[in-house]
Amino acid sequence: MARSSLRTSRMLMGLLAVAVSAGLLGYYKNSKKTVATTDPAHAPVTLVKAPGTAKPEEGLPLMVALSPKPTTAPAPEPAALVPANTQVAIATEPTTKPASTPRGEDMVQMLDRVNGFNPQRPAAPAATGDTFADAKARLDADDLLGARKILNDALLSGKLSPAQAEQAKQQLSSINDIVVLSPRKFVNDTFAESYVVKGGDRMAKIAAKHDITPDLLLRMNGMSDARKLQASQTLKVINGPFNAVVTKSAFTLDLYLGNPGEPGSMFVKQYRVALGRDDSTPLGTWMVEAGKKQKNPKFWGSGPDHPPMEADDPQNPLGEYWIGLVGTDGHAVDKHGYGIHGTIDPDSIGKMASLGCIRLKNEDVAVVFELLTEGKSFVLVKP
């Protein structure tokens, strides 16, 4: 009986020891778990892209975000525990707002830039009274229309010296290569406008409505084929017609929009010409004759010393373009057979060398051919 009681006591003591050991083990595990969830040094890490990048870039330090967020603020870690070249950050709300959808005026500005406009250009500089300095300041500010107005107003005023007038014309020619002859659009150009193509429109019809040529309309819009015109297409259009002034003493041909030299007109470009030998080019006013503009023209001859030549003959003195003229005033009245054309002798430019016509370099007459309109444009020949 005594031995049985002793055995029972030993069994109870063993069970008590096992229970105490299990309790101590559970307490130890719970303590470790609490440390793991509150100590940032033991938290699981998540790689986060650096702000402003689509993906972690090679060579850039990665940002490390701690997850999950501790329920209690952990004690700050010593700096020595942060790995070199690694940024440590807690994932928070971004400090800057994401870009929003552009507003209406922002879209207009973007479309303006696509079309060559610069709504962010510097403010127009103050005028100094020096025509060429003021024009240069406008050009430096990308204000071609402002520079053109300054130079054109000074030219039309008649107050420039001959040398200054030529300088103004050279600068205006360069400006108008962009403003008039290129596809670049300028919203405040008083000589131009935008035209939205309607169903049934043709290049020739649109050009005639604005007193210009279909060839010029193609050039200004960067097009080579009038058949590719589409409804709802927006075209850059100049309001013509263009007119010309030939100054015999200077061997120049000046192109204008409007009546040359009058208020509201605008100087466009200047070209050098050759004129009739023995001063044979008649003074007066000429009209570009309807139906008399030709590409690759035939030379019909002028007396026994100048026999006819076919269009493709390399000796054809007319070159590739012919603009027929009819006299309407002065010594030109009722005269026919004169015209503006190209040449096979570019060295003759600046001389009296033709049979009486106005001769230009082939590359120059190609532009003049596009600018002058049959039945609309006139050419004034003065001393």
Look at the block and give the residue holding tokens 């007038």.
165
pLDDT at 292 over 60: yes
Amino acid, single-letter form, for residue 46: T
- For residue 372, give both structure tokens: 């002058």
Weakest-pLDDT range from 23-32, 77-86, 331-340 = 77-86
Confidence bin at 247 (pLDDT 50/70/90): very high
- In this prediction, residue 13 carries a pLDDT of 62
- In this prediction, residue 129 carries a pLDDT of 83
Q: What angle do CA 207, 213, 216 make, to 5 degrees?
A: 100
Q: What is the average per-residue pLDDT within 206-214?
A: 98
Helix axes 131-140, 144-157, angle to 10 degrees: 160
- In this prediction, residue 204 carries a pLDDT of 97
- In this prediction, residue 282 carries a pLDDT of 97
CB-CB contact of 246 with 354 (8 Å)? no
The predicted-structure confidence for 160-185, as pLDDT tens digits, reads as follows: 999 999 999 999 999 999 999 999 99
Confidence bin at 78 (pLDDT 50/70/90): very low
3-state secondary structure the chain: CHHHHHHHHHHHHHHHHHHHHHHHHHHHHHHHHHHHHHCHHHCCEEEECCCCCCCCCCCCCCEEEECCCCCCCCCCCCHHHCCCCCEECCCCCCCCCCCCCCCHHHHHHHHHHHCCCCCCCCCCCCCCCCHHHHHHHHHHCCCHHHHHHHHHHHHHHCCCCHHHHHHHHHHHHHHHHHHCCCCCCCCCCCCEEEEECCCCCCHHHHHHHCCCCHHHHHHHCCCCCHHHCCCCCEEEEECCCEEEEEECCCCEEEEEECCCCCCCCEEEEEEECEEEHHHCCCCEEEEEEEEEEEECCCECCCCCCCCCECCCCCCCCCCCEEEEEEEEEHHHCCCCCEEEECCCCHHHCCCEEECCCEECCHHHHHHHHHHCCCCCCEEEEEC
* CA 18 to the chain's CA centroid: 88
- In this prediction, residue 301 carries a pLDDT of 72
- In this prediction, residue 189 carries a pLDDT of 96
pLDDT at 132 over 50: yes
Backbone angles phi, psi at 151, to 5 degrees: -70, -40
Burial track 159-184 (b if 16+ CB lie within 10 A, e otherwise): ebeeeeeebbbebbbebbeebbbeee
- In this prediction, residue 206 carries a pLDDT of 98
The predicted-structure confidence for 84-95, as pLDDT tens digits, reads as follows: 443 434 334 444
- In this prediction, residue 32 carries a pLDDT of 46
Averaged pLDDT of the chain: 78
Residue 306 is a catalytic residue = no
Fold classified for 182-240:
Membrane-bound Lytic Murein Transglycosylase D; Chain A (3.10.350)
Weakest-pLDDT range from 70-74, 270-274, 319-323, 366-370 = 70-74
Is the whole-model pTM more than 0.75? no
Residue 341 is a catalytic residue = yes
354 HSE (CA, 13 A, CB side) = 29
For the chain, give every residue range classified as CATH 3.10.350.10.
Answer: 182-240
Domain 242-382 has CATH 2.40.30.30: no
pLDDT at 264 over 90: yes
Q: What is the average per-residue pLDDT within 336-342?
A: 95
147 or 89, higher pLDDT: 147
Q: Give Cβ neighbours of residue 203 (< 8 Å, ≥ 6 apart).
A: 214, 217, 218, 226, 229
For the chain, give every residue range classified as CATH 2.40.440.10.
Answer: 242-382
The predicted-structure confidence for 343-353, as pLDDT tens digits, reads as follows: 999 999 999 99
- In this prediction, residue 316 carries a pLDDT of 83
pLDDT at 114 over 70: no
Q: What is the average per-residue pLDDT within 303-314?
A: 76
Task: Quote the percentage of the chain above a pLDDT of 70.
Answer: 66
Q: What angle do CA 347, 351, 357 make, to 5 degrees?
A: 100
Q: Shortest CA distance to 281 belongs to which of 254, 320, 247? A: 247
